[in-house]
Amino acid sequence: MSILIDQNSRIIVQGAAGVEGQFHLAKMIEYGSKVVAGVDPAFKTDRVGGIPAYPTVKQAVENHQADTSIIFVPAPFAYDAVLEALEHGLSLIVIITEGVPVNDMIKIKQLTKFSSTTIIGPNCPGLISPGKAKLGIMPGHIHLPGSTGVISRSGTLTYEVVQSLTKANLGQSTCVGIGGDPIPGSTFIDILKHFNEDPQTEQVVLIGEIGGSEEEKAASYIQQEFTKPVVSFIAGKTAPPEKTMGHAGAIVSGGKGTAQGKIQALINAGIKVASIPDEIVNLIKNK
């Protein structure tokens, strides 16, 4: 098994008329993902990248029984794209778009508070269940099917860690990039709950960074409820205070959200923390 996506996921790409949408649509199909349609109000064609193209999500869902969407729509229109996907019952929505307004994400979180729909992102690389399906911009060739779950706030750090895991023959069940914005669609805890219920996942790598308190919350959840080994890495130990580092959510303010505080919370919860990404493989092997 895997979490959230597999070879049966029926995917639509919103924003498929744009350059980024078309490029990654082709890469997902090349990987073997079941992309059933492209959606974009700008379409004046019935095909894109060799698959059906529609101006609305409604048409794509009705014609192809889609259950998953990935959004490459520009930030000012991302909220409307998510709303359209929600209105038509898609169970998983991944927002790749960077720069989505915080107020829009607050509204999206409210809309999905009592919904069964899972939102990943925004400002994220998406997710991949190696050998089954790729949903987003992760480089598929560095992944290997296996039993290690990966959750990360950082896209490039995810790739670095995954490549190290693959070289060590430590395959992955699913890798999820939740994004680094202040209001993510899914938190570490949301994804950990999925991994806790997945029989394929035997251990998890959690990649965090400075800013916010999601890592501390995850540490508490892991200590109290998570049943599988976890290895972690926290980026940003040398970041100056009060300065945003890379992601909008990666800012230390008022002494909160420091790398040191997150590392200590994880250690206190019995979680092994790597000092550099290259240590993760050894920590897993010596669990």
pLDDT at 13 over 80: yes
Q: Which of 24, 64, 194, 247 is catalytic?
A: 247
Please give the pLDDT value at position 24: 98
Question: Is residue 163 domain-shared with residue 55, that is, in the same domain?
Answer: no
Q: What is the largest CA-CA distance in the chain?
A: 57
Q: Is 88 noted as a catalytic residue in this protein?
A: no
Query: Domains in the chain: how many in total?
Result: 2
- Residue 69: pLDDT band with limits 50, 70, 90: very high
Domain boundary residue, one of 91, 123, 155 = 123
Cβ atoms 287, 203 nearer than 8 A: yes
Kindly state whether residue 219 falls inside one of the protein's structural domains.
yes
Please give the pLDDT value at position 247: 60
Please give the pLDDT value at position 201: 98
Alpha-carbon distance of 252 to 43, in angstroms, equals 43
* Predicted model pTM: 0.94
pLDDT per position as a tens digit, 89-138: 999 999 999 999 999 999 999 999 889 999 999 999 999 999 999 999 99
Find residue 273's DSSP bridge partners: 232
**Domain encompassing residue 68:** 1-123
Kindly state whether residue 45 falls inside one of the protein's structural domains.
yes
Alpha-carbon distance of 158 to 151, in angstroms, equals 8
What is the CATH classification number for the domain harbouring 72? 3.40.50.720
Alpha-carbon distance of 20 to 256, in angstroms, equals 36
pLDDT per position as a tens digit, 24-34: 999 999 999 99
